[in-house]
Structure formats: structure tokens, C-alpha cells
Amino acid sequence: MYHYLRNRRNQRHFPLPFIENFLPTKHCNWPFSTFTVQTPNANPNFEAVPSNFHAHSPQRPNLLSTHNLTSTHPAAPSLDKSPPFDQNTLNDIVSSNKIITSYIRSGDLSSALRVFGNMTVKTTVTWNAMLAGYSRKPGKLTEAQKLFDQIPEKDTVSYNIMLAGYVQNSDMETVWSFFNSMPSKDIASWNTMISGFAQKGAMAKARELFLAMPAKNSVTWSAMISGYVECGALELAEEFFEFAAVKSVVAWTAMISGYMKFGKIKKAERLFKEMPVKNLVTWNAMIAGYVENCRAEDGLKIFRIMLRYGIRPNHSSLSSVLLGCSELSALQLGKQVHQLVCKSLLRDDTTACTSLISMYCKCGVLDDAWKLFLETKSKDIVSWNAMISGYAQHGAGEKALHLFEEMRGEGIKPDWITFVAVLLACNHAGLVDIGVRYFDSIVKDYGVEPRPDHYTCMVDLLGRAGKLVEAVDLIKKMPFKPHSAIFGTLLGACRIHKNLELAEFAAQNLLNLDPQSAAGYVQLANVYAATNKWDHVARVRRSMKDNKVVKIPGYSWIEIKNTVHEFRSGDRVHPELASIHEKLNELEKKMKLAGYVPDLESALHDVGEEQKEQLLLWHSEKLAIAFGLIVVPYGTPIRVFKNLRVCGDCHRAIKYISAIERREIIVRDTVRFHHFMGGCCSCGDYW
């Protein structure tokens, strides 16, 4: 059981301080029981996962443990007022208790109750086992209370189990009243209260209890530290961590998670290095923290180090790694993670399978994602959303909408994320009227409240179709204040259709909301450049400089044999640069013979045409593709990824390259996937 808890406490939905109640500490020498109860707010998918309460008091033998107990204690002491048991009776009690516990852990309360009812002799441990089953089951608190009232000889564990049930299923006033009514309290009772208040964000009350607590252990300190981290009071968490009498792994990990949560990566790294003992949760916190802070490459590096230490990942580790693979488009590593999943107990885990589906979609391997989706035995709404989003990102709008209707046919209710994917599918496929109908049905037919993301999709859908006035009207009718992203979307549409008036309107609103938005300045400058208003471009760039706004540099990357090669426009550092330039010069000649004419509007500099052509030729996506043509075997798709929207000239050039080289080229930018083959693109030049 100890190892089971150690393995399980990495789950994000499993409150760490509760689990640590089970772990041996020098402050708590209670015997370890084989039955426990669920923690408050635990993941409903893991009903069999225990919590933090001991099934017996320190003064009583554990009749729920194995038969070997009787050989260890040949003369088992009586249970207070209960009569002494002979060996056969004791064995019957032990066996029945084990069966009850097994049923409870599997969620089969009715079978547990049947065995309980057939027992002629019940110990307090037996009653506690049944009480644990009811108190941790959602909606069974009333039954738990009735059972609690029937227990002939309640011990502290009985009260603790009921207290945990109240924490999980009731308001804190009721919890507080029950806590005060307890005839005796142990350290687990206090820790349950502190953790309960901490989980609900009531840190003032948790602190009050902490100060009143007669004795504290590592669980107590961890609960306070974790609570302050969760509610955003990082300085108070640091204060408690500094003065903690005992710093458990949970406390160290909570601080690392807190630092990562607030972007204090250096502090997280320092703590990680200083930790005397690390567990899987700690490694997971570092991996997830790096990925969430846009440092996926560091996350993947530390994952590899973790594997070298012989630490086996769980689905939390793999989910973070797969997210990192998705962000970096590190397909080969993603495939290796897939093999790890297949060889582990997670091969049928819905969460792990969904993470893999999302990874394959974001790495441009839609066929593998679809195959895995079909093989997933138990699909939840997240699985369906991942596949619908994948089709949407790849421009397969009709497939996405068909899958949405299939999902409805399966009786799965769509959520707000589903409709973001559906509207995105309509947007990328240019299905304006269908998109409008789905948008109108969100509230009317499904009872889902539209969010800013839905409105952003609609503005993009209307704007790309040239319906800029309708897009502006929709923004004005929004039930909440417009956010910066929606004006950025409108500005992008204005650039496509070269609408200066609305571009200036969108840019002004965007910069009012986010003065440091480099995208706002750049997109407005692009609109001016497209209409040859170079004086306006210069004015925008001066404004950027005056306001100390830093433009996000464009770069592209390609993965070759587990190594990510990054390129920037005009790159001068890649070791194969000479070969890449030679390949591009060769391609340029062939493209021009085939009819290619550089789109000089995509060169946003006021320079001569020849220099513009050279600048365009060295765009980051062209450099990455040329490198791919050199090193990727013929017949294997070339997959390139860019952190910005692919420019019009590169899009045109890649179509020519795919025909000349007879290669499939897949490019993912911030908008969507482009599949180039035989001189055509899957987007149909609509992106």
C-alpha cells in the first residue's frame, strides 16, 4: 500500500498533503493500515485510491490486515467491551474485513454491505471500513452519517473518517461543527481540517488552526505550503517553507510547482538541485513547469535525465512530455513515448491515449492520430475534442463536422472547447454560413455560454471571408468587453483584404488594451507596407522603439533524428548553411522557369527589388525546407514548423518546390497546417 500511495500521489487531482499522512515520519509512528478512505476532492476516476486515515487506533490490533497478524499476535487483546475471540472467529473477522475492503476499493458498496450484514461479529474496524466506503462516495454522506450513528464503539478513526467525508461533501461550517464535537482528536484530525480549509482557499482559517494545533508534523507544514501556493500567495508559502521544522518531499515539490506556476524558473531549478530526495511528482513538476513556461526543450531534456535515473514515468509525466513534443513538433520523441505507453499499464488509459492523439495531430500525422482514436476503448469528451481539433487544424473541415455529429450520435454532450474546434473547422474550410449556424446554436440548442474564444473564431471566420463590417458588428454586440486577441484577429483579416481604415481601428483598440503587443505594431506596419505607405511603416517602427516594444523574431524548425534544427530569417550560424544556400539558389532558378514570381509585398522593407528577392529567399521556412530536402530521405514527408504565420511568398514558393522535388511538405504555422503536394496546398490558398 505504501508503494501504491507513493506511485499515486503524483496525480494532480489528488491532494498531496493528505497522502503524506500515510508516509512514515519521525513525528508519527502509528501502524499502517490496509484500509483507508478517499481524500476530499479526489479524482473520481480513482475511487480505489486511499486517503489519510488509519483504520485502527494505536492501541488496537489491525484486524483488517492479513492472517499473518494472528501469528504475530497469538494472544490478540480484546477490543474494549467486546468479548474475547477464539482463533476461528478472529480468522472469520479478518477474512470478512478483507473482503469488505476489497469491494469498497472497487466501488462495489452493495456487495460490501451484503458481506457486512452477514457478519455475526463486527469490530470497530469493520464498521470503519463500511463507513469509509460511504463517506468517500459522492452523494452518500447521509448514509454515512446514519452508519456512523450506529457504530457501537466509535474510536478516533471513526470520527476522522466522518470528518473526511464532511470535508469532501459538505460546507466548512458543518465540518467545523463536527470537528469541535469530536471527543478526541489526533494529528490526522487537525491535518484534515487544515487541508480542507486550504483546498477551499480559506487560508486565514487554515492558519488559525495551524497556530492552535498542539503538535505538527510534515503533513501539516506541507498542507499550509501547498495551500498558499494554490491561492497565489507565494511569499507566504516561501515563509512557511523556510521555517518548516520538517521539509518533506511534498513541501519541496509544492514550492517547485509554485515557482514554475509564477514563472520563477531559476528558483525552481535551484530548489530542484538542493532537494535531498526527489520522487516522481518532483520530476513531473519540473517537466510540466518547463513546458508551461514555453521551455519545452528543457522539459524534454529533464525527462530524458529522469529515465536515465531509472524512474518510471506515469501518465502525468507522459502527458507533459507529449505536450512538449507537440509544441516542438518533436515527432520522433513522441513516437518513443508512444512505445513507452504501449509497454506500460497506461496503454488503455484514456488520458494517455488522448495525449497521444493530440501529439500526432500537432505533429502533422493525422492518419496515426485517427488510427489511435479508433483504437481508444473508452473515449471521453476530451478525446473527441482532440480529434475534432486535429481535423480543424489541418483544414479538414468536413471531416471535423462529421466527427462532431458522430459524437452527438454517441450521446456525448459537447462542451465549449468542442465548439471552438467546430468553429475553427468552419473557419479553415471557409464554411461561413455553416459556422454562423453552429455559433447561433451554441446557446439555443446546447446551453453552452459563448466565450471570448468563440467570438474570436467568428471574427476570424467573417474577416477572412471579407465580411469585415459584419465582424466589427459582432465585436460590438459581444456580451463582455472585447479582449486584445479579438482585435488582433480583426487586424489580421484587414491585412489580407488591405482595409486600411478598419486596420487602424483594430490596431488602435489592440494597442489600447495591450500597449506592449508587438503583433499589433507589426501587423499594422504590414498593412501599410502592402499598400506602399513606407512613411507610415517608419512611423509605426519608431513608435515601437519609443515604447520599447520588442518584435518577436520569426523562426522555423525541423526535427531530424531526434534533433531539432532551428532557423531564423537570414540565418548565418547553421553548420550546413552553405549547402542550404546552394540548394535554395538551385530551387529559385527552377521555380522561376516554372512560372514562380516572388511576392515582393511579403518583403516588408523599403529596399530595392533585387534585395527584396534575396530577403525572401532566406526566410526561415525556406531555409528549413531546403535543409529537409538535403537530409530527409526521399519518400518521407518533410515537416517544418513556424512560430508565426507563413508569409504569402513562402506559401507560393513551397507549392512550386513540392512539385519540382516531388515531395510532400507539411508546414505548421500559428494559424493551421498546410499540406503541400504536387504544387497544391490543402488550404486551397485560403488561410
Q: How many helices and strands in the chain, by DSSP H and E?
A: 35, 6
List average pLDDT for each run of 10 residues in the chain, which is 687 residues long: 37 36 33 33 34 34 33 34 50 80 83 85 88 85 89 92 87 87 92 90 92 91 93 92 89 95 95 94 96 92 93 89 88 89 85 92 94 94 97 94 96 96 95 96 93 96 95 95 94 90 93 89 86 87 89 89 88 90 96 92 68 87 96 95 91 97 95 94 87
pLDDT of residue 483: 92
Which of 136, 106, 131 shows the shortest CA–CA distance to 116?
A: 131
Instruction: List b or e across 411-434, with b for residues whose CB sees 16 or more CB atoms inside 10 angstroms.
Output: ebebeebbbbbbbbbbbbbbbbeb
pLDDT of residue 45: 34
pLDDT of residue 561: 86
C-alpha cell at 280: 516522481
pLDDT of residue 171: 82
C-alpha atoms less than 13 angstroms from C-alpha of 206 in its C-beta half-sphere: 25
Contact 105, 48 (CB under 8 A): yes
Contact 19, 49 (CB under 8 A): no
Sign of CA dihedral 320, 325, 328, 329: negative
| Cell 466501488 belongs to residue | 107
Q: What one-letter code names the amino acid at 647?
A: C
Q: With both helix axes pointing from N to C terminus, report the angle between 124-135 and 156-169 in degrees, rounded to the nearest 10.
A: 0
